[in-house]
Structure 1
Amino acid sequence: MALFVMIIRKMVNNKWLAFSLFLGMLISVALVSTMPIYSEAILSRMLVKDLETMQRNQGVYPGTVYVKATFSEDPPEKKKAANEAIDAYMKGEGARSFSLPVDLTVIQRNTRSVDSFPEVGTEADLKKKRSFRFTSLTGLGEHIRLTDGRMPSPEPVNGVYEVLVTDAGLNNLDTVLDSVFVVKSDKARIPMKFKPVGVFEKKRDDDPYFRDASLTNLANSLVIDSGLMDRDFLGLNNVPVINAEWYVVFDYSGMELRQVDDFIAADKSVKAYVNAKVGAYQSDMKTPALATIEKYLERAKQLRTLMWSLNVPVLIMLAFYMFMVANLIAERQKNEIAVLRSRGAARWQIVAAFSAEGLLLSAAAWGLGPLVGLALTKMLGASNGFLSFVSRAALPVRVTGESYAYGAAAAAVAFVMLLVPVLLATRATIVGHKQQLARRQRTPLWHKLFLDVVLVAVALYGLYAFRSRLDNLRKLGLNASDLNIDPLQFVVPALFTVGSGLLLLRLYPYVLRLIYWLGRKRWRPSAYATLIQVGRSSGQYQFLMIFLILTIATGVFSASAARTINDNTEDRIRYANGADIALSTVWISDAPPPSPGGPMAGGGAEPASGVSKPIHYLEPSYEPIATLPGVEHAAKVFSKQDAYFTAGEERGTATLLGIDTDDFGRTAWFRDGLLSHPLNEYLNLMAADTRAVLISRTLAKQKNVKEGDTIWIGWNDTSSQPFVVYGIVDYFPTFNPNPPIGSVDAGNAETLANAPMLIVGHLSRIQFQLALEPYQVWLKMKPGYSVEALYQAIEDRELSVTKLTNTEIEWNQAKNDPFLMALNGILTLGFLISILVSFTGFLLYWVLSLKGRTLQNGIMRAIGLSVRHMVGMLVLEQLLTSGVAVLIGVVVGNVASGLYVPNFQVAFNPSSLVPPFRVIFDSADYVRLYSTVGFMLLVGLGILGFMVSRTRIHQALKLGED
Structure 2
Amino acid sequence: MGVPLLRFLFRKMWNTRWLTLSTMAGLIVAVAFATSIPMYADGALKRVVTQSLQERSTGLPAGSLLMRYQSAGGGKTDIQALGDVDQYIKKDVPSRIGFPYRSFVSSLSIRGTEVVPVDSTKVDASRMRQLTLMAMSGLNKQTELMQGRWFADGEGGDVLEAVMLEEAMFRNDIHIGDEFDYPVYGGLNISLKVRVVGAVKPLKDTDPYWYQGLESLMGTLQISEAAFKKQLLEKRSIPVNNANWYYAFDLREIKTSQLSPLGRSLDRLNIELYQLLKDTRIEISFADTLADFKRQSLQLQTLLFTLATPMIAMVFYYIAMNARQSLEKQRSDIAVLRSRGAGTRQIMLIYLLEGLLLGLIALATGPLIGWFMAKSIGSANGFLAFVDRKSIPVGFSTEAMIAGLAAVLLAVLSTVVPAVIYARSSIVGYKQKLARSDRRPLWQRWFLDVALLGLAGYGWYLFNERQILTFRTGMTTDQLDVNPFLFFVPALSIFAMGLFFLRVFPLLLKILNRIGKRFLPVPLFLTLTQLSRSSKAYYPLMILLILTLGLGVYNASAARTIDLNSTQRTLYRYGSDVVIQTVWEGRAEIRPGSGNPGNPGGAGNGAGGGNPGGGQAAPTRINYTEPPFEIFRSLDGVESAARVLQAKGNVVISGRSAGQGTLMGIENVDFSKVAWFREDLFPAHPYRYLDLLGDYEQAAIVPSGIAEKFQLKPGDLISVGLGDGMIEFVIVGILPYWPTQYPDQSPFVIANLDYIYDQVPIIPYEVWLKMKTDAKVAPIVTALLDKGIELASVKDVRSELIAQSKHPTRGGVFGILSLGFIVSVLVSLSGYLLYWFFNLSGRIVQFGVLRAMGLSRKQLTGMLLLEQLFTGGLSIVLGLLIGRITSVLFLPFLQTAENIDNAVPPFRVVFEEQDMLQLYGVVGVMLLTGAGLLFLHIRRLRVHQAVKMGEER
TM-score (norm 2): 0.88
Q: Is the 8 A contact 2:147 2:200 kept in 1?
A: yes
In structure 2, the partner of 1:285 is 283
In structure 1, the partner of 2:292 is 295
In structure 2, the partner of 1:204 is 204
Q: Is the 8 A contact 2:77 2:239 kept in 1?
A: no
The alignment status of 1:935 with 2:932, answered yes or no, reads no
1:327 to 320, 324, 327: 324
C-alpha separation in 1, matches of 2:797 and 2:270: 44
The alignment status of 1:537 with 2:534, answered yes or no, reads yes
In the TM superposition, what are the counterparts of 1:142-221 in structure 2 within 5 Å?
142-154=141-153, 161-183=160-182, 192-212=192-212, 215-221=214-220
Q: Is the 8 A contact 1:479 1:909 kept in 2?
A: no
2:677 to 670, 674, 677: 670
C-alpha separation in 1, matches of 2:836 and 2:59: 66
Q: Is the 8 A contact 1:480 1:908 kept in 2?
A: no
Residues 107, 158 of structure 1: alpha-carbon distance in 2 compared, 3 angstrom cutoff: closer
Q: Is the 8 A contact 1:480 1:906 kept in 2?
A: no
In the TM superposition, what are the counterparts of 1:605-754 in structure 2 within 5 Å?
610=614, 613-640=620-647, 643-647=649-653, 648-697=655-704, 699=706, 709-714=716-721, 718-737=724-743
1:874 to 859, 864, 868: 864
The alignment status of 1:313 with 2:307, answered yes or no, reads no
C-alpha separation in 2, matches of 1:608 and 1:164: 53
Return the letter of the residue paired with 2:34.
V
1:824 to 800, 814, 818: 814
Q: Is the 8 A contact 2:382 2:563 kept in 1?
A: yes
The alignment status of 1:892 with 2:882, answered yes or no, reads yes
In the TM superposition, what are the counterparts of 1:244-283 in structure 2 within 5 Å?
244-276=243-275
In structure 2, the partner of 1:848 is 838
Q: Is the 8 A contact 1:557 1:896 kept in 2?
A: yes
Counterpart secondary structure, 2:135: strand
In the TM superposition, what are the counterparts of 1:391-410 in structure 2 within 5 Å?
391-410=388-407
| 1:889 Cα deviation after fit | 0.9
In structure 2, the partner of 1:42 is 44
Residues 157, 550 of structure 1: alpha-carbon distance in 2 compared, 3 angstrom cutoff: closer
After superposition, the C-alpha distances for 1:555-614 in whole angstroms (9 at most, x for unaligned) are 11121111111222222222222222223333333489999xxx9975999888556644
| 1:547 Cα deviation after fit | 1.3
Q: Is the 8 A contact 2:560 2:912 kept in 1?
A: yes
In the TM superposition, what are the counterparts of 1:551-566 in structure 2 within 5 Å?
551-566=548-563
Residues 594, 784 of structure 1: alpha-carbon distance in 2 compared, 3 angstrom cutoff: farther
Return the letter of the residue paired with 2:670.
D
After superposition, the C-alpha distances for 1:120-167 in whole angstroms (9 at most, x for unaligned) are 567994333222223332212222234555444457999654443334
The alignment status of 1:948 with 2:914, answered yes or no, reads no
In structure 1, the partner of 2:26 is 24
C-alpha separation in 2, matches of 1:604 and 1:203: 52
C-alpha separation in 1, matches of 2:359 and 2:468: 46
| 1:183 Cα deviation after fit | 4.4
1:3 to 2, 5, 23: 5
The alignment status of 1:580 with 2:574, answered yes or no, reads no
Q: Which runs of 5+ in 2 are unaligned?
A: 589-595
C-alpha separation in 1, matches of 2:714 and 2:784: 43
Counterpart secondary structure, 2:206: coil
**Could you tell me the percent identity over the aligned residues?**
33
Most deviating of 370-379 and 518-527: 518-527
Q: Is the 8 A contact 1:564 1:920 kept in 2?
A: yes
Residues 574, 148 of structure 1: alpha-carbon distance in 2 compared, 3 angstrom cutoff: farther
In the TM superposition, what are the counterparts of 1:427-438 in structure 2 within 5 Å?
430-431=427-428, 433-434=430-431, 436-437=433-434
Residues 774, 260 of structure 1: alpha-carbon distance in 2 compared, 3 angstrom cutoff: farther
| 1:760 Cα deviation after fit | 3.5
After superposition, the C-alpha distances for 1:312-366 in whole angstroms (9 at most, x for unaligned) are 2213322322232222223223333444555676656654544443344344434
C-alpha separation in 2, matches of 1:594 and 1:157: 67
C-alpha separation in 2, matches of 1:291 and 1:684: 59
The alignment status of 1:482 with 2:488, answered yes or no, reads no
Q: Is the 8 A contact 2:495 2:543 kept in 1?
A: yes
Residues 165, 649 of structure 1: alpha-carbon distance in 2 compared, 3 angstrom cutoff: same
C-alpha separation in 1, matches of 2:841 and 2:483: 46
Report how many residues are paired.
Answer: 932
Return the letter of the residue paired with 1:286.
I
After superposition, the C-alpha distances for 1:236-284 in whole angstroms (9 at most, x for unaligned) are 669864323222122233333333334433443444445556655x867
| 1:892 Cα deviation after fit | 1.0
Residues 900, 193 of structure 1: alpha-carbon distance in 2 compared, 3 angstrom cutoff: same
Q: Is the 8 A contact 2:41 2:301 kept in 1?
A: yes
C-alpha separation in 2, matches of 1:763 and 1:275: 71
After superposition, the C-alpha distances for 1:160-204 in whole angstroms (9 at most, x for unaligned) are 544433344233223544444454666786764445454433322
In structure 1, the partner of 2:829 is 839
Q: Is the 8 A contact 1:589 1:604 kept in 2?
A: no
In structure 2, the partner of 1:782 is 772
| 1:829 Cα deviation after fit | 1.6
The Cα RMSD (Å) is 3.9
Counterpart secondary structure, 1:247: strand
C-alpha separation in 2, matches of 1:609 and 1:511: 87
| 1:9 Cα deviation after fit | 1.9
C-alpha separation in 2, matches of 1:255 and 1:221: 37
In structure 1, the partner of 2:592 is none
Counterpart secondary structure, 1:252: coil
C-alpha separation in 2, matches of 1:871 and 1:73: 99
TM-score (norm 1): 0.87
Q: Is the 8 A contact 1:323 1:421 kept in 2?
A: no
Residues 330, 393 of structure 1: alpha-carbon distance in 2 compared, 3 angstrom cutoff: same
Q: Is the 8 A contact 1:257 1:296 kept in 2?
A: no
C-alpha separation in 1, matches of 2:551 and 2:906: 25
In structure 1, the partner of 2:63 is 63
C-alpha separation in 1, matches of 2:763 and 2:288: 41
In structure 2, the partner of 1:414 is 411
Q: Is the 8 A contact 2:31 2:367 kept in 1?
A: yes
C-alpha separation in 2, matches of 1:850 and 1:23: 22
In structure 2, the partner of 1:101 is 100
Return the letter of the residue paired with 1:645.
V
Q: Is the 8 A contact 2:466 2:897 kept in 1?
A: no
Q: Is the 8 A contact 2:363 2:408 kept in 1?
A: yes
| 1:51 Cα deviation after fit | 4.6
2:908 to 918, 924, 928: 918
After superposition, the C-alpha distances for 1:418-471 in whole angstroms (9 at most, x for unaligned) are 244445546765455445545554333333333333322321221121122189
In structure 1, the partner of 2:498 is 501
C-alpha separation in 1, matches of 2:456 and 2:65: 52
C-alpha separation in 1, matches of 2:950 and 2:29: 39
Counterpart secondary structure, 2:845: helix
| 1:891 Cα deviation after fit | 0.8
C-alpha separation in 2, matches of 1:479 and 1:697: 36
Q: Is the 8 A contact 1:674 1:731 kept in 2?
A: yes
C-alpha separation in 2, matches of 1:309 and 1:113: 59
In structure 2, the partner of 1:742 is none
Most deviating of 667-676 and 613-622: 613-622
| 1:890 Cα deviation after fit | 0.9
| 1:546 Cα deviation after fit | 1.4
Most deviating of 32-41 and 858-867: 858-867
C-alpha separation in 2, matches of 1:507 and 1:299: 46
